[in-house]
Every structure is written in C-alpha cells, then in structure tokens.
Amino acid sequence: MSDSSGNDDRRDGRPHGERSSDRAGDRPTGGRPGAGRPNEGRPSRGKPADGAPARGNPAARRPGDRNSSAGKPAWKKDDGGASGRPPRPSSSRDGKPDEKRLWTKGGAPARNDRDSSERETPEDRDPFGTRSVRSRHDDPEIPDDVSPKELDRVALNELKTLSKENAEGVAQHLVMAARLINENPALAHQHAISAARRAGRIGVVRETLAITAYATEDYALALRELRTYRRITGRDDQLPMMVDSERGLGRPERALELGRSVARASLPVPVQVELAIAMSGARLDLGHPEAALAELEIAQLDPTKAYSYSPGLFDAYATVLEELGRAAEAQTWFTRAEIAADALEEGDAEDDMIEVVEEDVPDEEMVDGVVDEETLESGAGDDSGDGGRADREH
C-alpha cells in the first residue's frame, strides 16, 4: 500500500534524519536518487539485504559503530563529567600520574643540561622511529710513531681547510693507508674510511679511499669514489684506474668509452701510459689481441730508456705478444721489463729517467738462450762486457 507521495510504505524504515512521509507531498523530491521511482526488485533501504544489518535500525549496530542519532562515537560519559568525550590517555609512563618526563628537569625542558641525554628513554631520543643509516665504523689504531708530517706536502695543503685537530687525525690515517696499501690493503682501506668520515669533501681523501677500495677489489666503490674525486678536483689523473674499475665490473665496452672521453694529449705522460695499458686490457677482455697490441705501441715504448712507467708498459706489451703466440718476442720484452725495474730500483729516486744500454752477447756465451753465469761473473768488472747495463743519465 502506497502513501500520498506514491512511495512504498516500507519507506518508514529509512535512515533516521530524513523527513517524515506526511510532508513528502508538500514539495518535490528534488530529483534525489530513488525518490518516486519503483524499487525494481532491489532491497528497500529500510530492510536488511542478504542478512546485513539494517541501516536505519540502531539496535542492529555492532559495538563500535557510530551513534545513529548524533553521528558521533558512542563514548560513555565519565562519572566525573558530562562532556561525553573519550578519556584522555595518561601522559605518564607505567601508569604513574605524578612521574615527570625523563628529558625534563624540574618540569621544564632540559635545555643546556648536558646530562639530559642520559635520562632520555629510547622513545624520547627517536620518537619517530628514525635511525641513522650510516653504518658503524670503528677507527683502527694508529701507532705512536705516525706523524702527520709524513704525509705529502701537497696533500697536507689540502687539509688546511680542516681544524688543526681534525687535520692531524686525517693525516695520520692517510699515512697509515699509504704504509699498508701493499702488505695489508684491507686495513689500509679501514684507515681510508676513517679519513673519509672525517673529511669527505677533501679530494686527496676521496682519492685514497678509491685506491684502497681498488686494492681490495671493490671496484664499484672505487669507481664511485674516483668520480667524486674527479668532481671535487676537476682532474683526470685517475682516469686509468676508472677504466680498470669498469673492467673489474665486467664492462669493457664502457671502459673503452670512458678512456676515449678525454683527449690523450691533455694528460701527463705517465697517465697517458697507464691509460694505454688499461685500454689494452679492455681490448683483451673483448678478445681483440691485435687491437690490444696497437694500444701499447706508443712513443714511450722505448727499450733504451727506463722511466717509472716503463716496467709496467714493457710487461703489458710482452703479455699481449704472448697472447698472440709470439713467445720469443714476449720473452724479450719480459726481460726488458725486469732490466728496467732493476735499473730504477738501483738508481736515485730523484732521477726521472734511466738510460738502458743493451749489448749483444756472442752465441757461444749463451746457454739455452740465456747468458752463462760464468760469463757474467768473469765480465763483472769489465764495463765493455756488462750486458744489460743501466747508465744513469743526468
């Protein structure tokens, strides 16, 4: 049976707050959805659908549902007041209302109180649950005989932007890294990390960290630190190590691309040679030994002179020749690399170049392609018969 508005009498059960049906015919419904339209078999608003609680039936609501009349949480009123608000959570800890927060002193914030941090709870120190993501690092011990003055003068100048105490500590760690890089690269790396944590914006510090990372075969870290060093200083003198780090990460194509990104002539000669060796290694990684040999055929490949970079260059050239199956030539260059290294070791550290004099040895003095030891002993005092002799050029 329908009322005057044409709606089903089941509308009496609609949600609380709608206008009663006795005024429904006084004005139009305003085009609200469902007003004046048949139900078309849909469940009525006032009755439950599929066993669900009826929307307009307060008795059908579950605990915690909003109050049907006020639209507010149905909190019980406290005995001590009639506001109907929920009880305030206790500001005290462990249910002790008179306890003061541990970071306060006399009820006021503990400003300028050096001991306040000792009274803080972990929740007060880190209320939002954020902790530093910086990994823990314990500084390695520094022997008493280590002096900051042992550091290179140019490196010491870079540390002048630091405080005196900090500069001395950084310098000592750098000295230890230089001492240990060959015999204990892992410990040298720990010293470099300590220096970087104290002076991360100093170029020589990031360079040292990169070198020690390279020595420990952490090529990803080495490459990252070398890029940082390059960005800080604007220098390309560590480009060969960057190329080698790309090789270490298994990316020879990127290594070659990086090596070609800088004009070779703009680099110092020792850096040019080191870059040629690194580029040659990348060619070998790709399986191109002929191209690798071509990378090493530079003006500095001179067996008559030994520079600081010559032993490494000669040895790399011999390695590629061996890869090509040219064993006799490879052995010749291996020998030249040894002669150059010995000449540099015996010469003065201040000498930039050592001249290597090679003399032919008669075949009868050779035993299986090697100079007989008796021949060397008999000619030890004869300057004209000193095979492979190195003279210092001043």
53-67, 130-144, 299-313 — which one is most confidently predicted on average? Answer: 299-313
Nearest in space to 248 (alpha carbons), one of 229, 220, 224: 220
Q: Is 32 exposed, middle or buried (0-12, 13-18, 19+ CB in 10 A)?
A: exposed
Residue 195, pLDDT > 50, answer yes
- For residues 267-279, give the mean pLDDT: 97
Residue 371 has pLDDT above 60, yes or no: no
Q: How many CB atoms are located within 10 Å of the residue 253 CB?
A: 11
Question: Which residue did the predictor score with more confidence, 16 or 318?
Answer: 318
Can you give the residue ranges of every domain in the chain?
A: 139-235, 299-373+387-394
The reported pLDDT for the residue numbered 66 is: 47
Structure confidence by residue, pLDDT tens digits, 217-233: 999 999 999 999 999 99
Q: What is the pLDDT of residues 163-176, one digit of tens each?
A: 999 999 999 999 99
pLDDT, average across residues 2-8: 47
Q: Where are the beta strands (DSSP E) in the chain?
A: 104-105, 108-109, 305-306, 354-356, 366-367, 370-371, 390-392
Q: Report pTM.
A: 0.58
Q: Lowest-pLDDT range, 100-109, 203-212, 360-369?
A: 360-369
The three-class DSSP label of residue 25 is: coil
Of the listed ranges 51-60, 85-94, 238-247, 265-274, the least confidently predicted one is: 51-60
**Among 228, 190, 187, residue whose Cα is nearest residue 207:** 228
Question: How high is the pLDDT of residue 314?
Answer: 97
Cβ-based neighbour number of residue 296 at 10 Å:
23
pLDDT score at 137: 75
Compute the distance between CA of residue 312 and CA of residue 298 in angstroms, rounded to an integer.
13
Tens-place pLDDT, residues 29-56: 444 444 444 444 444 444 444 544 444 4
Lowest mean pLDDT among 90-94, 148-152, 155-159, 324-328: 90-94
Reply yes or no on whether the pLDDT at 115 is more than 90.
Answer: no
pLDDT (0 to 100) of residue 346: 79
At residue 147 the predicted structure's pLDDT band, cuts being 50, 70 and 90, is very high
- Which pLDDT score is estimated for 18? 46
- What b/e string do you get for 273-295 counting C-beta neighbours within 10 Å, with b at 16 or more? bbbbbbbbbbbbbeeebebbbeb
CATH of 139-235, one of 1.25.40, 1.10.1760, 1.20.140, 1.10.8: 1.25.40
When the pLDDT of each residue in the chain is averaged and rounded to a whole number, the result is 74
Q: Which residue has the higher pLDDT, 133 or 221?
A: 221
pLDDT level of residue 139 (50, 70, 90 thresholds)? confident
Q: What is the pLDDT of residue 122?
A: 61
274 vs 4, higher pLDDT = 274
pLDDT for the residue numbered 362: 54
